Amino acid sequence: MKKVIPALIEWLMRFYSAAVEPSQREVNEKIAHKFHLWVAEKRYCKTDQTMADVADEFGVSVEALAFYFSNVVGERFGAVRKRLRLEEARRLICENPDCKIVLIANKVGIPDKCNFRKQFHEMYGYSPSEWRKRCAELKKK
């Protein structure tokens, strides 16, 4: 039984991916294009933007956007947005060593300093302040 279930799941996944209608492919291509622009314009840094707002902006349903991220990207939308925000924060901290962390947190769309610090530490294993020190040391070398 333990061997049957994974084989069944694998078969269903292959069947499902082959059964994706052309319309779904078109929607996925539309989302991919819109997402590329969204990232290039750093719109992921908007603070009060929900997944529904992004879906409206892309001209698709929330379900289509969730499907795209889960099945094409392989991550939830919120996780991708969080990663993009924190990567931008790391870049800004290095480029602006005198800028307050709270201002950078606001700039990347995470206005709560404690939440920002917690997310940053969970993602990278060190605090934003520790990252600032590492960047300063790297620039000296």
Residues in the chain: 141
User: What pLDDT sits at residue 126?
Assistant: 96
DSSP 8: H
Say how many C-beta atoms besides its own lie within 10 A of residue 34's C-beta. 18
Query: Average pLDDT of each block of 10 consecutive residues along the chain (141 residues)?
Result: 61 58 82 95 93 96 95 94 97 95 96 96 96 90 72
User: What pLDDT sits at residue 1?
Assistant: 47
Q: What is the pTM of this model?
A: 0.81
> Could you give the CA distance from residue 124 to residue 96 in angstroms, rounded to a whole number?
19
User: What pLDDT sits at residue 77?
Assistant: 96
Start-end of H helices in the chain: 4-18, 22-40, 51-58, 62-67, 77-95, 101-107, 113-124, 128-140
